[in-house]
């Protein structure tokens, strides 16, 4: 299966470090971040999971639930979590799916045969409250993920879902945004963006971030 943006994220039931999980019941009406790891006790993944645990408040503020996946079993996960907590000075506060049968990895296209026929690649999927896939990003095994970028994408998605705007290159929360080109009615623009806008070109119109 090839998962693409806009697809409905597949539901599943699978064991995890926090017991059996049904994915949709876990997410409920929250945003979700599902990210895969090649295996337990791997160095880059250890730093990633530790950093994710430290972002709990940031995720909570955005209504986001994190859940990780590795192809090892629950007992292995629990031992690895002890290592993560000790070495990263944190406490893992989200489930790690035990995907020994590669069921979830197959559903989410986390197995890339040319990289490895058995291990999951370092992929991450953002899922919105309607269970739609909004971002898919895959890193090479040697490169740890940038979770500040993940938070930035969530901020952008949540903002642009509410307002007729897009976010420009390197945008950070609080900076100017772009009015979407399809919005042309000046009366509506004034109503939606009372702070006004700057037309760099007829199609590139910058306005202060709503809210």
Q: In sequence order, what are the residues at sequence separation of 6 or more whose Cβ sits closer than 8 angstroms to the Cβ of residue 182?
A: 164
> Is residue 121 within a helix (H) or strand (E), and if so which, with residue range?
none
3-state class of 11 per DSSP? Answer: coil
User: What separation in angstroms does the CA of 28 have from each of 57, 130, 157?
Assistant: 19, 9, 18
Phi, psi dihedrals of residue 172, rounded to the nearest 5°: -125, 150
> Which of 170, 169, 158 lies closest to 210, judged by CA?
158
Catalytic residue among 27, 33, 45, 125: 45
| 45 is known as an active-site residue | yes
The catalytic residue positions are 45
């Amino acid at each position: 299966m090839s998962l693409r943006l806009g697809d409905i994220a597949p539901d599943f039931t699978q064991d995890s470090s926090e017991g059996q999980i049904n994915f949709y019941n876990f997410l409920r009406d929250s945003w979700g971040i599902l990210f895969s790891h090649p295996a337990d006790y791997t160095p880059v993944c250890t730093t990633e999971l530790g950093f994710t645990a430290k972002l709990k408040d940031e995720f909570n503020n955005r209504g986001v639930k994190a859940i990780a996946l590795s192809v090892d079993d629950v007992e292995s996960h629990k031992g690895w979590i002890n290592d993560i907590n000790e070495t990263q000075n944190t406490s893992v506060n989200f489930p790690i799916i035990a995907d020994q049968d590669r069921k979830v990895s197959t559903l989410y296209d986390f197995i890339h045969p040319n990289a490895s026929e058995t291990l999951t690649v370092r992929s991450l999927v953002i899922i919105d409250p309607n269970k739609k896939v909004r971002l898919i990003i895959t890193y090479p095994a040697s490169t740890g993920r940038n979770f500040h970028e993940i938070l930035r994408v969530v901020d952008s998605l949540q903002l642009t879902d509410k307002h007729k705007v897009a976010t420009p290159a390197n945008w950070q929360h609080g900076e100017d945004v772009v009015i979407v080109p399809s919005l042309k009615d000046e009366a509506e623009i004034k109503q939606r963006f009372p702070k006004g806008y700057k037309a760099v070109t007829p199609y590139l119109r910058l306005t202060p971030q709503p809210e």
